[in-house]
Amino acid sequence: MKGRDSMKIVVIDGQGGALGKHLIAAVKSAAATDASAEIIAVGTNSAATSAMMNGGADRGATGENPIIVACSDADIIVGPVGILCANAMLGEITPTMALAVGAARAVKILVPVSRCDIMIAGASEMSYGEYVKIAARMVAGEIKKKREK
């Protein structure tokens, strides 16, 4: 485990974890020069956690309490926009999970996913892969900003 001088990036996903897996791989690539960034995968179910671990996460856990704990001291939280909404992802996001994400002091980088039935004004119609690349660049930018402080 890396020391607390490291950046703690929490990636949250549910269902099959495909978005989280792609986000982790892209973030690792975009932030490759910052070895002190630790990526924690937290799935709403074990399949999502497993997929994200296969994407290269440093550590992983599953369920409501791990989401609460991980968000409590995260520097950056990344995932689909539904992680902010109670009962999103076919009910996998509990109200307590959504509250933990929303109340976290972390910078939140959210990917608009139409399956959450949330429409974001100004969001372009892009492919899943394009959103992942943009999110990874945003994470790398936040790491750089925090390191410069």
Question: What CATH number did the domain enclosing 122 receive?
Answer: 3.40.50.2000
For residue 1, being part of any structural domain is answered with no
Nearest to 67 by CA among 22, 119, 106: 106
For residue 35, being part of any structural domain is answered with yes
* C-beta separation of 19 from 79 below 8 A: yes
Q: What is the mean pLDDT of residues 50-72?
A: 97
**Which secondary-structure segment (H or E) carries 107?**
strand 107-111
How many CA atoms lie within 13 Å of 77's alpha carbon, on the beta-carbon side? 29
pTM: 0.91
Looking at the predicted structure, is the pLDDT value of residue 116 above 90?
no
pLDDT band at residue 1 under the 50/70/90 scheme: very low
For residue 149, being part of any structural domain is answered with no
How many structural domains are present in the chain? 1
User: Coil, helix or strand for 40?
Assistant: strand
pLDDT for 113 equals 80
Range of the domain at 12: 7-144
For the record, the structure tokens of 136 come out as 């990874």
- Greatest alpha-carbon pair distance for the chain in Å reads 40
Q: Mean pLDDT lowest for which of 1-5, 42-46, 75-79, 81-85?
A: 1-5
